[in-house]
Structures are given as structure tokens and as C-alpha cells.
Amino acid sequence: MNEQSLQTNIEGFRELIQLKGWSVVTEKEVPSGYQIIVTDGVTRNPVSFYLTGKILIQGKAGILQTELQLWMQERSTTPFRPTPLVGFQLPSAPTNVSHTARFYVSLNHIDQVKELLLGFSTQVTIQELSLDPYQVYRIDIYQGNQRMVATQYKSGTLLIQGRTSELFEDICRVLENTLSHSFAERGASYVPDSERDVILEHMNRPQTERKALDWVYALAFLQWLRK
């Protein structure tokens, strides 16, 4: 087992969260692994993933823990299929995998952003009374067979979760424009909170943005040559 199996287990867990309609309370790096605390609106359970392939479920016993244990047992009997490590490479065709994007919304803009999200589709559900004391609201957005979940926390963190799709990209693009994030803040939106400060420090360097623009221009030139 290695980093590939760790990433595969985490991606599989994110798909389960989306399928069940649960919410991510928080996530962070732990020694030799990664931890995600998930809630079904009633209870919350920490789930830790390790480089060894081990999955550790903690927290109170209940319906959520039972479902997590069943998922873990099913996963342990499923053959491991390695996935490529994420690296700096030319984009390929989109794949149907789950993603999470993070944004920061100031307190005086929370209602404005909520109305913006509600306007993305005629098929939306909103949950404003949550047992999670840290959550302001949760909005489920449906468009055809696509589903996105937007969760706003009192800390200002806004999570957009869902599978790779035009809807996911459109929501993130509009939020980036609306919230007027800097180049560094936009890049840090797609990394775990535990890595945010390090990424922000790196992306705030002038040479980082310049290199990114050079890469974009090179990619555009390659696409032009292929025509």
C-alpha cells in the first residue's frame, strides 16, 4: 500500500458522502494519513485513512457508524485499482470523480452568496436548521443527473462538493468572480485546510503566478498546433 491507495480510499469515501447526502464537518492531515469528520445531521464520526490502507472509524455508535462500517467492509473485499498520482500535467478529459472546492465568504456576504447558489437551478433544496452548530446552511443543487452540495460554515468556509461536471465548474467559476479572490486564494480553494497556509504563501510569490501564466500560454499554443 502507498499514497495511491490512500488517495483511492479518500476519493471513494467522498463519493459515499455525496451518495448518502452527508456533510463534511472538517478534514485534516494526521500522522501517516488523513482524517475526515463526517455527519449525517444527527451524529458525527471521524474516519481516518492511512498509507498502509487501514481505515479507522471512530466516534459514537449509531446509524452513521454502522453504514460507515458496512462501506469499509465492502471496500476491503474490493480489489485495489491504482490511480495515477496527481501531478503537474496537461489536462485530460474530465473524469466522473468527486471534488471539493473551498471558498471564504465574509459574514456580510453570506446571504448574498446563498441567494446566488439558490438561483443556479429550479431544483434546489436548502437546510438552514442543522444539528451541526458550526453550519449556517446546506444547499443541494440538481441539474439533470448532476448534483452539487454547498455547505456554508460560520467560520466563513464554503464547501462546494460534487462530481466533475459543467455544473461544478460553473458554480466555482461564478463564486471566484463574485468573491473577487486573488490568484493565490483561488489556487488555495482546492487544497485541504491543513495545507492552505503553505499553498497561500507559495502562490503569493510573484514568480508562481508568472509560471502559471506561462504554462497556460504554452497549453493554448499546443492546442492551436493540434487544430
Q: How many domains does the chain have?
A: 2
Q: Is residue 63 part of a domain?
A: yes
Of 160, 180, 200, which one is at a domain's C-terminal end? 180
pTM of the prediction?
Answer: 0.45
Q: Does 115 share its domain with 171? A: yes
Q: Does 112 share its domain with 145? A: yes
Check which CATH number belongs to the domain holding 172 and give it: 3.30.310.10
What is the residue type of 107? L
**Per-residue pLDDT of the chain in tens (227 residues, 90 and over written 9):** 467 778 888 888 988 898 888 999 998 988 888 999 999 888 899 999 988 888 888 988 888 988 898 888 777 654 444 433 333 333 333 445 567 788 888 888 899 999 999 888 878 888 876 666 778 888 888 888 888 889 888 888 888 888 878 888 899 889 988 886 555 565 655 555 556 566 656 655 656 556 655 655 566 666 667 76
Q: Is residue 49 part of a domain?
A: yes
Domain containing 143 equals 98-180
- Give the residue from 108, 156, 116 showing the smallest Cα distance to 134: 156
What is the residue type of 82? P
198: cell is 503553505
14: cell is 467522498
Report DSSP state, residue 79.
P
Of 76, 109, 131, which one is at a domain's C-terminal end? 76
